Amino acid sequence: MLNWMAKLLLTSTAIAPVLLTYAWVAYQAGESKQAGTLLGVCIVLILVCLGLLRYAKANLERMNFSPTTVEAADRENMGFLLLYLLPLFTAQFSTLNWQVWVPAIVIFAGVVATGYSYHFNPLLGLLGWHFYKVSTKEGVTYVLITKKQLRNATEAIEVGQLTEYIVIDVGGH
């Protein structure tokens, strides 16, 4: 189990699509250096996310997981994406207040990494992963990250435990 590190990495990689958008806006505003930097950070975050997925699949202890209930947990993706992109509609790149944005993102990542509120990463969604809230017969609810389309709760899944309440499908896809 990776615990807080996995949550921190998943939270930080969730901003990769936003950085891509900011890079485009910076490029359009003639800020090529900032656009290149943002694009570079975006690429690094994508590679970190892919590395975390590979590490989880190769190294986490595998266990059979039989959920009793399944509910989609990535339905909020449009709200998150709109929230991420909203500043782009209201300001020019040069007028964005980075002294506010950077600490706000760091605080957001810290809160998510130390709490139980994580349940969506748009980058993983773009890579074909889905998020489900799944419950066990003991009544514990987990977030399951998988590429499978779950239609019922009767199928056992081979998972690895990323954090206390997040499991990832490590079986064959």
Residue 5 is predicted with a pLDDT of 77
Per-residue pLDDT tens over the stretch 48-64: 988 988 998 899 999 99
Q: Is 40 helix (H, G, I), strand (E, B) or coil?
A: helix
Mean pLDDT of 107-135: 75
Per-residue pLDDT tens over the stretch 132-169: 889 998 989 998 999 988 877 778 889 999 888 889 99
Residues in Cβ contact with 78 at an 8 Å cutoff, skipping those fewer than 6 apart: none
Between residues 7 and 119, the one the model is more confident about: 7
Nearest to 169 by CA among 89, 161, 123, 159: 159
Between residues 133 and 83, the one the model is more confident about: 133
User: How long a stretch of residues is the chain?
Assistant: 173
Q: Where are the domains of the chain?
A: 4-169
